[in-house]
A and B are shown apart, each in its own frame.
Chain A
Amino acid sequence: MMNDDTGTFRDEVRQWLEENCPEEMRSPMLSDKDACWGGRNFTFQSEAQRLWLERMSARGWTAPDWPTEYGGGGLDSEQLKILKQEMARIKARPALYSFGISMLGPALLKYGNEEQKQKFLPPIVRGEIRWAQGYSEPNAGSDLANLQAPAVDMGDHYLLNGSKIWTSYGDEGDWMFCLVRTDQQAPKHRGISFMLFDMKTPGITVRPIKLISGRSPFCEVFFEDVKIPREQQVGELNKGWEIAKYLLTHEREMISWSGLSTSGTRSVSETATDFIGLNQAKLDDAMLRGDIARFEMNEMAFALTIERARDEVKAGVSLGAVSSWFKFYGTELNKQRYNLLMDIHGIEALAWRGAESQDGKLARDWLRTKGNSIEGGTSEIQLNIVAKHILGLPG
């Protein structure tokens, strides 16, 4: 649906990107290190990366659909789509990866007070503060509402103890948004509050967890009498579960998009064709070819279903619990993708160290995907949600 307004906007975006997106930022990222996460301790990989973040955030386009009064781009959904299309067209890298933008921001916009929005949102847009998420605890995984970390009211502040686990990049986060228990007596869903604090606050210890991939994208975080100023509690006291659920919906949507091959990366069939070759126009491994075809059938069907969901949201249908299904299916697809990529590369897929394999990137990425269907709510929990909230099945 192209009218004059969107046409003009497209021209404007195209011209601005042409003038402002550095050449080095117009190619697919080669490794995770190329992703810009910003924050107090971030070291830019290049001047181009720094410049790209500076220009995009000055325009508000790191958070394109947030209100301009908080530093966002103020775009409507049609304009947002155009911006994404135009960025994809020139293969522009995202200027900023940020839990602040994808998770905390939407919650603050909905539940935060004016002072909190003014204080926290603009630095998120500029990539100055990197946020970590404090949700799971050793005894609160799938049963997240069972979280225990107590925050006791001390008048002008709360005193936090306990611990969090599976905190993504906890060792690199500047601040944490955290679910804490503020009422020990109330039923478990009604004694939870949502708080923000600086990770430099005395009493916080962070310990990385080494995974089967050999990497440590998650941490344990321990709290010992951590003082949280009163004004850093978001929304109503003891109603943090509502914010948590709202945020989890966002997280699920974000994770489910990972089930799609992003522009620039090669598809599974292209990779197989390069590595194995064709014989009489067919991949020279009949059984693998069949498995790949089945995978790509589902991958294409999933991409169309995401497109349909977005169109329906635009037409006024609310997505609701369907986001659970997207999370389930997207992560299961991603696991299949990496299984196939491993199969395709045979013995070469086993490489673990050395420059040629980028320190065993493929094998480590494959192992990492095993966590996709656990983090952010397991596949089993997502299916429970679909059964109860979409199909209306009992108990």
Chain B
Amino acid sequence: MTLVLNEEQVMLRDAASDFLNSRAPVSHFRELRDNRDEIGFSTGLWAEMVEMGWSSIIIPEQYGGLDYGYTGLGLVLQECGRTLSPSPLISTSLLGASALLLSGNEGQCEHWLPGICSGETLLTTAFDESPLHRPALVNTVAVPEDGGYRINGAKLAVPDGKTADAFIISARTPEADASNGSLSLFLVPAGTTGLHLDSTPVLDNRHLCSLKLEDVFVSQAHRLGQADQGLQLLEAVLDRGRIGMAAEMLGIAQECFKRTVEYLKERKQFGVPIGSFQALQHRAATLFGEIELSKSVVLRALQAIDENSDQVPVLASLAKAKCGLTAELATAESIQMHGGIGMTDEFDLGFFIKRWRSLNQQLGDARYHLDRFASLRGY
């Protein structure tokens, strides 16, 4: 596939850009933050995004979706990175929908996906159990019982947990051989007895929740995919999330870079625009290149998902690592080149670096993914 967007994709991206700039610019996020909102996004804005079809971009038409593929959703997430528009797109429409689609259970898809498309249903994923991303390290246990499972354990870093209608969790069944990493995934509806949620606002004003499962009972029908074969499914879901987050980080880097280049042309010191100084020109030119590299990586990774390529894992780690590092550089350089004003809360740049930090830390940071990249390539 060529590394150029097709007409449909260009239209989707431009429509997303127009919508976000008019309905959810950075000032929208600032208002939520100032009002200490309870959930991390605006339900009104989400309803409008659903209206645009964004909740269902990757979902096939048979379930009421748009079926534009991951490339389409990635482009929207990239635009959301530029405007810092908060929504449950990653938790529900990317991670949740991917888990259902990849598990391949027709009944579950029919039960949940139409609700995601219409905006009635929000999902989220609860995988990690330690502060550092270690998806195979699962102490949550699911014991088979009465045609179902009794689950005990605890989860961390659950995005948009407060609004979720169901949680997709990873757990280990006692008979599974722990050494080969076999896991199972379960869908636990919110409100199930024994499910306790604790919501904490984090630095980017999103809510990352912790989840406790105490003797939670779910039926067989709530297991996603094969029993004890969940690690592969889990990694596939995570890879889609990682690539989506990479796309959002790319958007963050692009916006910081754009604002910084504009500032370099505007801001005068010693009687000249500071952008005429070679020290700053070279740093800006270097950053330009890092963003170009990240654009290629994100596009190829998104295309790989749509093509069902066996390169998805290596490209996911490549994208998450490269975009994490690029957005780190872009956000830090934008503050430095803006000088003191870049440090003020009144100015927007702080929002970008906080959001980058949050995305960087979720689903594995750059170092985690460089390690995985090396392992996947056999060294």
Contacts and interface: CB of A to CB of B under 8 A. Distances in A.
A308 B371 CA distance: 26
Contacts of B261: 391-393
Contact of A305 (B4, B292, B321): B292
Interface string B275-318: 11010011011101100111111011000000000000000001
Nearest to A314: B2
Given A383-B285, A391-B288, A301 B297 contact: yes
A200 to B, nearest CB: 43
A392 B289 contact: no
B273 interface: yes
A119 interface: no
A269 B281 contact: no
B265 A394 contact: yes
B71 to A, nearest CB: 14
Interface in A62-85: none
A300 interface: yes
B281 A383 contact: yes
B293 A301 contact: yes
Contacts of B265: 392-394
Contacts of B322: 297-298, 301
Contacts of A325: 285, 288-289, 292
A325 B295 CA distance: 15
Interface string A294-318: 1011101110110110011011000
A298 B367 CA distance: 14
Identify whether the interface residues of A are mostly helix, strand, loop, or mixed: helix
A393 B289 CA distance: 15
Contacts of B370: 290, 293-294, 297
A57 to B, nearest CB: 31
A266 interface: no
A220 B300 CA distance: 46
B316 to A, nearest CB: 12
Interface in B57-75: none
A212 interface: no
A296 B372 CA distance: 13
A179 B299 CA distance: 42
Interface of B: 2-4, 261, 264-265, 272-273, 275-276, 278, 281-282, 284-286, 288-289, 292-297, 299-300, 318, 321-322, 367, 370-371, 373-375, 377-379
21 contacts: A273-B379, A281-B375, A282-B374, A282-B375, A282-B379, A283-B379, A290-B371, A297-B318, A297-B322, A298-B293, A301-B318, A304-B297, A305-B293, A307-B296, A312-B3, A383-B285, A383-B286, A384-B281, A393-B276, A393-B281, A394-B265
